[in-house]
A = this chain, B = another copy of it.
Amino acid sequence: MFYIIGLGLCDEKDITMRGLEAIKTASRVYLEAYTSILMVQKDRLESFYGKEVIVADRDLVECGSDEILKDADKEDVCLLVVGDPFGATTHTDILLRARHLGIPTRVIHNASIMNAVGASGLQLYNFGQTVSLVFFTETWKPDSFYDRIKENAERGLHTLLLLDIKVKEQSEENLARGRKIYEPPRYMTIRQAVTQLLEIEALREEGVLSADKTLAVAMGRVGGLNDQRILAGPLSSFLRAPPDAFGPPLHSLIIVGRKLHHLEVEYGEVFAEALGEAIALSETQVDGPTSDQIGEKGRQEGKQKWREIASKVYGVALD
Pull 26 A–B residue pairs with CB atoms less than 8 Å apart, ordered by A: A8-B109, A13-B21, A14-B109, A15-B16, A16-B16, A18-B225, A84-B111, A85-B118, A86-B118, A86-B119, A89-B123, A92-B121, A92-B264, A93-B263, A96-B263, A107-B119, A109-B116, A109-B119, A111-B111, A112-B115, A125-B131, A125-B132, A127-B130, A128-B129, A128-B155, A151-B155
- Nearest B residue to A120 via CB reads B86
Q: Which residues of A212-233 are within 8 A (CB) of B?
A: 222-223, 225
Given contacts A15-B16, A96-B267, contact A129 B155 (CB under 8 A): yes
Say yes or no for A95: interface residue by CB 8 A criterion: yes
Bound together, the chains give a CA A264 to CA B86 distance in angstroms of: 12
CB-based contact A109/B9 at 8 Å: yes
Q: Enumerate chain B residues within 8 angstroms of A118, measured Cβ to Cβ.
A: 84-87, 114
Bound together, the chains give a CA A125 to CA B270 distance in angstroms of: 29
Bound together, the chains give a CA A92 to CA B85 distance in angstroms of: 27
Cβ-neighbour of A99 out of B17, B131, B270 (below 8 A): B270
Given contacts A16-B14, A84-B111, contact A130 B119 (CB under 8 A): no
Not counting A14-B109, A125-B129, a sample of 10 additional A-B residue pairs whose C-beta atoms are within 8 angstroms of each other reads A15-B17, A16-B16, A16-B17, A16-B110, A17-B17, A86-B118, A92-B263, A96-B263, A114-B118, A125-B132
Bound together, the chains give a CA A250 to CA B267 distance in angstroms of: 29
- Nearest B residue to A225 via CB reads B18
For A75-112 the 0/1 string (1 means CB < 8 A from B) is 00000000011110100110110010000000111111
Bound together, the chains give a CA A53 to CA B152 distance in angstroms of: 42
CB-based contact B17/A13 at 8 Å: yes
CB-based contact B129/A127 at 8 Å: yes
Q: Which residues of A1-32 are within 8 A (CB) of B?
A: 6, 8-9, 12-18, 20-21
Say yes or no for A210: interface residue by CB 8 A criterion: no
Cβ-neighbour of A17 out of B20, B125, B151, B222 (below 8 A): B20
For A156-176 the 0/1 string (1 means CB < 8 A from B) is 010000000000000000000
The interface residues of chain A, by DSSP majority, are classed as helix
Bound together, the chains give a CA A121 to CA B223 distance in angstroms of: 25
Say yes or no for A304: interface residue by CB 8 A criterion: no
Say yes or no for A124: interface residue by CB 8 A criterion: yes
Say yes or no for A266: interface residue by CB 8 A criterion: yes
CB-based contact A114/B110 at 8 Å: no
Q: Enumerate chain B residues within 8 angstroms of A89, measured Cβ to Cβ.
A: 123, 263
- Nearest B residue to A263 via CB reads B92
Q: Enumerate chain B residues within 8 angstroms of A225, measured Cβ to Cβ.
A: 18
Bound together, the chains give a CA A86 to CA B116 distance in angstroms of: 7
Say yes or no for A311: interface residue by CB 8 A criterion: no
Q: Enumerate chain B residues within 8 angstroms of A196, measured Cβ to Cβ.
A: none
- Nearest B residue to A121 via CB reads B92
Nearest 9 A/B pairs, CB to CB:
A86-B118, A109-B111, A115-B115, A114-B115, A13-B17, A13-B18, A109-B116, A125-B130, A109-B223
